[in-house]
Structures are given as C-alpha cells and as structure tokens.
Amino acid sequence: MYRHEHVFNFIIQQMGVRKKLLLKVDKGGNNILHLVGRMPYQPQLEVVSGAVLQMQRELQWYKDVEKLVSEQETTTMNRGKQTPMMVFEENHRRMIQSEERWIVSLASACIVSTTIIGTIAFSLAIQVPGGNNGDGHTILYEKIDFTIFAISNAVALYSAISTFLIFLSIFTTRYAAIDFLYSLPNRLIIGLTSLFVSITSTIIAFSSALYLIFAQESQSFILPPVVIMSFGLVTLFAFLQFPLLLNMMKTTYGQSIDITTHTVVNFKW
C-alpha cells in the first residue's frame, strides 16, 4: 500500500475493481489488510512530522481499510500464520520502539518541569508576598492584585500536579501498537495543555507577586520589563510546543485521512 488517499478512493469506488481488490489474496495468502500492515516507503511516512503522528497515521490507515472489509478478513491468517494485525505489529516494531523512547524522554522532561513549577507554586503559597500580620492573616489579602496572585498560584499548583500524574501514567503504558491511535496522543495532548496552563499561571503569579512588592515601594519602573519578559516566555513556549500540540489535536480529533469508508459486507460471487 502506497498511502495515496485519492488513488485508493478512486479505485475503491469502482464497484467491479472494489470487489476484486477487497477479496484478492496474493501468493502468500495476504489480503488487502495484510498489505496495509506493511511499512510504506519513507516519503509517505514524512507526510506528517513527529514520530507519534507517523505511527498514528499508519494506524488510521489500517483502521479505515479495516472498515471496508468483512470481519472475517480481519482475522484471516496468511501462509505465515499471521493475522493482519500481527503483520502490522511485526512491520512497525522498530517504529514503535523509536516512538516509545521519544515519548518517555518527553514525559521525563515534562515531569522535571512540572516538579520545579509545583515546588515554586507551593513555596509561594506558604510565603505569600507582603507577609502576615500578628493574627496570621495576609497583610495584602484585600487587594485585587493579591487575589490574582492567589488564584493563578493555585491554578499553577493544581495543573502542575495534574501534568505530573498524566505524564507519570505514560510510563505505565504497555506501548501496544493500538495505544498510538488514541490513548497515547490523548495523554500527550492533555499533558502538554496542562503544562502550558501551569507555566502561564506560574508566570502570572510571579508577576503579580513582583507587582505587590514593588508597587508598594514606589519602584514601578521595574514592572514594565517584568510584564514584557513574562509575555515573552509564554509566547516562546507557545511557539515551540503549539505546532506539535495542534497537529496532534488535528490528527486525533479531526479527519486526517480522506478515505471513503463504506462498510463492506461479504460479497457473493
């Protein structure tokens, strides 16, 4: 299978050819689903960037073609005693191993980041800006800026914990081929989104804390550079991570492969 959607659609819509194509078996006993399980040429893999997206695209091709054949064809063994899914897993073993290493390294980096963010947010919650009065209450709690600080710091802490748990769950995944279709992309999407929220909230909390401190001391000239740097950091993170995040959302929740998938019943000769 060469992974050309338009060519495949054109052929599959020709009823006479479609019947032969879906039921044809080669000399090795392979049906069309066995052939989809084989690795395509490298240029067809490079249609999408990113290891996870390439594996997901391969699985989407397999699942879409699977809808075209009868249920019996999905479990038919070739002369090598392999079902279509067994052929798929064997041919994509290297890709699965490569993507597993990439996901684990990404999860490790994100866990380190969220640990740092969580530590900062927790320390800010204990040592609030402005200090406490004799009764143990925060001196600046009546100011709207302190409310912004408290809310953003709480969001940063909870989203950091959520991100930590999400990426930690990635380490316990069995990394079966089917996990790359929805399970792992979903976790990466939620984890990266939560990480972005925690980083943004931490920057807002930090900026609010600086404002509370320096605004009281009439040192407002420090505030503009702080605001500019804060927005710059958020923009930098978005610029680096959003392309991958948006691509994963598009391929996971949208239709990334344009195959005409009319379910096929058993043909009668």
Q: Where are the domains of the chain?
A: 5-92, 95-253
* Paired tokens of 167: 């990426």
| pLDDT bracket for residue 10 (50, 70, 90) | low
Examine the pLDDT at 122 and tell me if it is beyond 90.
no
Predicted local distance difference test score (pLDDT) of residue 111: 94
**Helix/strand/coil (H/E/C) assignment for every residue in 62-93:** HHHHHCCCCHHHHCCCCCCCCCHHHHHHHHCH
Least reliable range by pLDDT among 12-16, 67-71, 90-94, 210-214: 12-16
Where b means 16+ CB within 10 Å and e means fewer, 95-112 reads: bbeebbeebeebbeebbe
Predicted local distance difference test score (pLDDT) of residue 167: 94
**Stretch 102-108: mean pLDDT, rounded?**
91
Predicted local distance difference test score (pLDDT) of residue 107: 93
pLDDT in tens, 159-215: 999 999 999 999 988 888 889 989 999 999 999 999 999 999 988 888 887 777 776
Of 81 and 264, more confident? 81
Predicted local distance difference test score (pLDDT) of residue 57: 85
**Stretch 214-221: mean pLDDT, rounded?**
64
Tokens 């040592």 sit on residue: 127
* Paired tokens of 263: 């379910």
Percent of the residues in the chain that have a pLDDT greater than 90, as a whole number: 20
Predicted local distance difference test score (pLDDT) of residue 2: 56
| pLDDT bracket for residue 217 (50, 70, 90) | low
DSSP bridge partners of 138: 132
Predicted local distance difference test score (pLDDT) of residue 147: 82
pLDDT in tens, 15-66: 556 666 677 788 888 888 888 888 776 555 555 555 567 888 889 888 888 8
* Paired tokens of 124: 């800010």
Do 57 and 64 form a contact (C-beta atoms < 8 A)?
Answer: no
| pLDDT bracket for residue 264 (50, 70, 90) | very low
- Supply the Cα-derived Rg of the chain in whole angstroms: 26
Q: Which helix (H) or strand (E) holds 99?
A: helix 93-126
